[in-house]
Every structure is written in C-alpha cells, then in structure tokens.
Amino acid sequence: MANLNRLILLALLSVACCLSLLLPLASAGPPKRVARTRPAHEEFRRQRRLTDIVDRGSRPPLHMFETKAHYEEEKREKAEKGAATSSAPIKYWGGPVMIGNPSVNVYIIYYGSWPAGSGQNVIENFIRSLSADSSRQGAPAEPKVKLWWAINAPYSQDAGGGKTNVSRKVRLAGTVHDNYSAGKKFGEQTVWKVVSKKIGAGKAFSYDPHGIYLLLTSKDVTVPGYCSEYCGWHTMDYMGSNPVIYSLVGHHGQCAEGCGGQSTSPNGNPAIDATVSTIAHEIAEAATDPDAQNGWLDDNNEENADKCSYDVGLTKTGRDNRGNEYLYNLVGMKGMRFLVQQNWDRLKNKCVSQRR
C-alpha cells in the first residue's frame, strides 16, 4: 500500500510540474505575427552583402555577379569600414577546379525568343575566340580575346600550380534553342530544371564533366533578382553522382547599362555586347571555382572575375556606321571587337586584360 501511495504522489508531482511549465505559455497567448518590414529583394540583397555566396541548404550555393550599382555601393561600404579591397590575394580552398581536359567545353541554351540576327553570332564568336589562333584575331598589335582567357591558366587544383591547371582552350561544344518550355517567369530552381532536361542520352547535350552549361534567357523572360540584384550567376548541381556546372545570364536588354554596357557598342547591339562581358565573367569563375565555394576565392568570398568587376582597363575607341564612338578592349575572330571586364591574374595579384 505504501508503494501505491508513493506512486500516486509521484504522478501528482509530475502533473503539477507540467502545468507550471504550460501556464506561462497559455497566459502569453498565441505567438504574435510579425509584419515583414522589407521586401524579399531586400533580404536577398542583405545576404548578398554579407557574402558573394548565397546558401541553398544541402545544394551547392550560387555565386552571383552583382549589378554595377550594388557593386559600387558595396565598395563604398567596405571603404568606410576599412575592409579589405579587391587587392586581397586569391587563395585555393581545396575544392574542384576544371582541369584535366584539353578544353573547357561551353554548351549554350538559348531560352525564349532568339530570332536570327538577335546576337547569337556575337556571343558565339566570342566563345570561339577564347582559344582561336591569335593570327585570326585582328592586327598583331590588337588585344586578343584568346589572351584574356589565358589569365585563367595559372589556376590549378592545388595551391602551387603545376600540371593540373585550367586549360587554355575553350570549345563551343553545342547550342540549342528552348521555346519557353518553363514559361516566361521562373526562379532559380526552374533554371536547373531547364538545364538538366537538356543533358543526357538522347537529349540536346551529352553529359560532360568538363562542360559549362550556359542558360541565356531572352529579353522577355524574368527571373527574380535579375537586373535589380545581379547580372548573372553560376553554381553546380548533381545528376545522380555526376556534378553539372552551369550558369544563368539574362538578356542585358533589360538592364544593359546596369550591367556595364555602353549606349553605343562595338557590334551595334549594346545589350548583347554587355551580355558577352557577363558571360566571360561567369565562365571564368565556373572554371576556377566550379562549386562556387571551395575553389579559388579571396577572404571576402570574391572569385577571380569578381575582383575585377566592371574594370575594363585600357580601352581603344572605334566608330560605328553612323560615326558614333564606342570603346573596346579585345578583338576576336574576323576582327570582331568586344568590351570585356578584366580578370584577376593570381601571379601578378592584379586585374589584367591579357596574359601571354
């Protein structure tokens, strides 16, 4: 009987203990709904200021190339705080780098409306010029697109460099058009869905571990954050156990000057000419930091092209058919001219336009 009384007493004490814990919660009432004080794009922007890397949980992160306005604002903030500038050395953090193949292979998905004459020839000329013979790229004294890509050659899958460097050659491995398979408005997840559906047996492209799959959207396609926050991004995802390196670059007709364009441009198409510079930015970073977090970055999470954002270096002046002046700093195949941002030479620890 004593044991039974002891058990009843212990049960009553347990109930009293639980009630003492629950009563304060009950008296507090239901949790208050906190009003959102800033729009979604401001939260996106806050993340972007903290780091160039945007977390995606268990998936590899996105590394974004911000708009010129945000880049300038970030520079001012860093200067005010006395933070490190783009001169900070770039480091290897132990992750993958695109090495071990004769070429880096670029696959282009033209998404949306890309009729003939809308700029594909300019984009493809630039990609092919990244490794074309210099003798085919303007007069001997002209700055070469090929030598711009050579800036990536010292980046390797080890800190000291050696036989495992990024290839000096880039190959345009394939192109395909996608007629709005996912509509005209989509988010970051939709980008991966569009890209992944183009890869595999019987599809537009074979799987290529040395490939960069580049999704270029037409002017009428909207993606959250594009033009307001960023001009392009790159990341890596997986098909089974196979890593897929890919990038989104929107049509700069939505924001050419906001992404570093000119009102008059070398090829008579300011939007596409500006888009080319962002493409260059993204494929250089995708080659040297494929998973957007563990390749080559500095202590500020800036990749090689980030460190030279919107810095075009020395330029030359040309004139279009109407006599309007434009600037250029590189010449590609058939003498086609481009204005492309510089890239970070890790050996010289500075931004340069060419490396021989």
Residue 290 has pLDDT above 80, yes or no: yes
Segment 90-104 shows an average pLDDT of 91
Helix (H, G, I), strand (E, B) or coil at 322: coil
Separation of CA 8 from chain center: 66
The three-state secondary structure class of 197 is coil
Across 144-149, average pLDDT: 96
Rounded to whole angstroms, how far apart are CA atoms 256 and 270? Answer: 7
Tell me the pLDDT tens digit for each residue of 209-244.
Answer: 999 999 999 999 999 899 999 999 999 999 999 999
Task: Specify the pLDDT at position 189.
Answer: 85
* Range of weakest confidence among 64-78, 172-186, 272-286, 324-338: 64-78
Model confidence at 161, in pLDDT bands (50, 70, 90)? low
| Position 38 confidence tier, pLDDT thresholds 50, 70, 90 | very low
pLDDT band at 76 (very low <50, low <70, confident <90, very high): confident
Geometric angle at alpha carbon 288, from 282 and 293, rounded to 5°: 85
SS3 (DSSP) at 235: strand
pLDDT of residue 223: 92
What is the spatial distance between Cα 54 and Cα 42, in angstroms, rounded to a whole number?
Answer: 14
Q: What is the pTM of this model?
A: 0.83
d(CA 172, CA 282): 15
Over 90: is that where the pLDDT of 256 sits?
no
Angstrom distances, CA of residue 107 to CA of 203, 215, 278, 333: 13, 9, 16, 19
158-180 mean pLDDT: 87
What pLDDT was estimated at residue 52?
54
CA distance 293 to 54: 10
The pLDDT of residue 104 is 97
Residue 245 has what pLDDT?
97
pLDDT given for residue 163 in this prediction: 58
Cβ atoms within 10 Å of 332's Cβ, excluding its own? 27
How far apart, in Å, are the Cα atoms of 312 and each of 147, 221, 293, 316, 330?
14, 28, 25, 11, 10
Tokens describing residue 33: 């709904």
- Distance, in Å, from the CA atom of 251 to the CA atom of 180, rounded to the nearest integer, reads 14
Burial class (CB in 10 A: 0-12, 13-18, 19+), 182: middle
Given a cut of 90, is residue 295 above it in pLDDT? yes
How does strand 211-217 pair with strand 104-111? parallel
| Res 85: pLDDT | 58
| pLDDT tens-digit series, residues 106-132 | 999 999 999 999 999 999 999 999 998
How far apart (Å, rounded) are the C-alpha atoms in residues 259 and 253?
Answer: 10
Decide if 155 contacts 296 (C-beta within 8 A).
Answer: yes
Find the DSSP H helices in the chain.
2-28, 40-50, 68-81, 120-129, 145-149, 188-196, 270-288
Q: Which helix (H) or strand (E) holds 328?
A: strand 325-328
Tens-place pLDDT, residues 303-342: 999 999 999 999 999 999 889 999 999 999 999 999 999 9
- For residue 158, the tally of other CB atoms under 10 A from its CB is 13
Length of the chain: 356
Per-residue tokens: 311: 């810095």
Which residue from 133, 149, 147 is spatially nearest to 286, judged by alpha carbons? Answer: 149
Distance of CA 282 to the CA centre of its chain: 5
